[in-house]
Amino acid sequence: MNKNTFSYIVLWVAILLTTGCSNYVTKTVTYKINEPVFMKSSEFRSSVKVKSAAVDIENQGKICLYEGYLYISETGKGIHIIDNRNPSKPVNTGFIELLGNTDISVRNNLLYADSYIDLVWFDVSNPSQPIFKGRIEDLFPTALPPFDNGYGYDYNMCFNTETDQGVIVGWDLKERTEDIESYTGGWFNLWGGDGEIAYNDATSGTNSVNGSMSRFAFYNDMLYTAINGSMSIFDLSGTAPVKAAEDVALAWNVETLFSYKDNMFMGTPTGMYIYSVANPLKPEFKSFTAHVFGCDPVVVHNDTAYVTIRSGNTCGQNVNQLLLVDVSDVSNPKKLYTHNMTNPKGLGTDRGMLFLCDNGLKVFNLNTLASGTTPATKAHYTGMDGFDLIPYNNTLIMIATDGIYQYDYSDINNIQPLSKIAFKQ
């Protein structure tokens, strides 16, 4: 501890001691908070169902492409399987009912998925007949169901280690009125306590191609997962995944994870983190590039990181931008340019183009973006609210709030719509 830090602490201790109890007041406060809904662990873990019949997709989710099949994680329901070998005529072929699934990735015919606090995997050698292979329990103890109502959640109810209430599978928004003691100098609940409220806000083998919103990424025979402030590492070289190292504590809740060369690029609400995985079992922090508070996926192409920042109910501000960052030196990234957007979300690169979910689908020339001038769209399709996308083998797959859209960009100057799978309304 340096002298300045010590002096600062002594100063505040002196203030607290000399002000006395008279500077504390009790206030009646009414507020709303999310309380957890629990399910018995045995019931939760016996709920996995593999169905050969298709189930209608109702909401957007994360996307994953493997060997001509598209896997879609629909939050709160499970994983849809789409035969996409003919992108002009995709066929919804099957469904895996999996509570608490958010992220998915496939490697060597094994599909890995989170299920709230557990990691599960399936054999998808025959995509129309997935086979449940196994589960590792309690790997992600801080995993929580999503919510976007803008309120906090009761931390102590969620993580009470004195009782085993089961697995948190949902939320119940409650209004509370409480008497809370606060310091008149402006400190609220200074030391924490029972009223604490938290706020949510390439390789060997054959790997899936994930959308930019994914929190799963591969490096060699390793699977990296970033869930609620920690990164887990799994060795996939055997017939079943094995946790290969201690979790890596991250500085913030990581929203997206992108593997590029020997590094993991992480999108967080406050900026982009870079960790080296040159030593796969000991990720090393390399740098942090700050930006305004906001939701932000990141992809990297030719040593340039493309980061979107968007506004929204849980994103914290009204800024909507596309950032370009030079990451040729991962220890010293340099911001290049900032371009204003409408409400950018998922993105991807291919054939010298950036495909971006922003007021529909926008396509930009990477050279134009890198020039620093106001970018002109090479193509712009409107009428849908795009969430994430995958550009692969001249086919652009975009998932939106109302369906899955596909485009043929084999002629980059004449991009053509191919198909749409409409969601059940």
Q: Is residue 177 one of the residues assigned to a domain?
A: yes
Q: What is the pTM of this model?
A: 0.85
Span 166-225, pLDDT tens digits: 999 999 999 999 887 654 444 333 323 333 333 322 344 599 999 999 999 999 999 999
Span 83-92, pLDDT tens digits: 999 999 999 9
Distance, CA of 111 to CA of 104 (rounded, Å): 7
Note the pLDDT of residue 149: 80
Q: Is residue 113 one of the residues assigned to a domain?
A: yes
Beta bridge partners, 141, equal: none
Q: Is residue 28 one of the residues assigned to a domain?
A: yes
Q: Is residue 59 one of the residues assigned to a domain?
A: yes
- At 228, the pLDDT band (50, 70, 90 cuts) reads confident
Q: Is residue 1 one of the residues assigned to a domain?
A: no
Q: Is residue 245 one of the residues assigned to a domain?
A: no
Among 418, 333, 348, 363, residue whose Cα is nearest residue 85 = 418
Please report the beta strands in 196-270, taking only residues with DSSP state E, as ranges in sequence order.
Answer: 197-198, 209-210, 216-219, 222-227, 230-235, 242-243, 248-249, 256-260, 263-268
Least confident of 97-106, 282-291, 305-314: 305-314
**Number of structural domains, the chain?**
1
Distance, CA of 384 to CA of 402 (rounded, Å): 7
Rounding to the nearest 10 degrees, give the CA dihedral for residues 118, 124, 129, 131. Answer: -40
The secondary structure element, H or E, covering residue 414 is none
Span 36-69, pLDDT tens digits: 999 999 999 999 999 988 999 999 999 999 999 9
Q: Is residue 46 one of the residues assigned to a domain?
A: yes
Cβ atoms of residues 361 and 386 within 8 Å: yes
Q: Is the pLDDT of residue 153 over 70?
A: yes
Q: Is residue 187 one of the residues assigned to a domain?
A: yes
- Domain enclosing residue 87, as ranges: 23-205
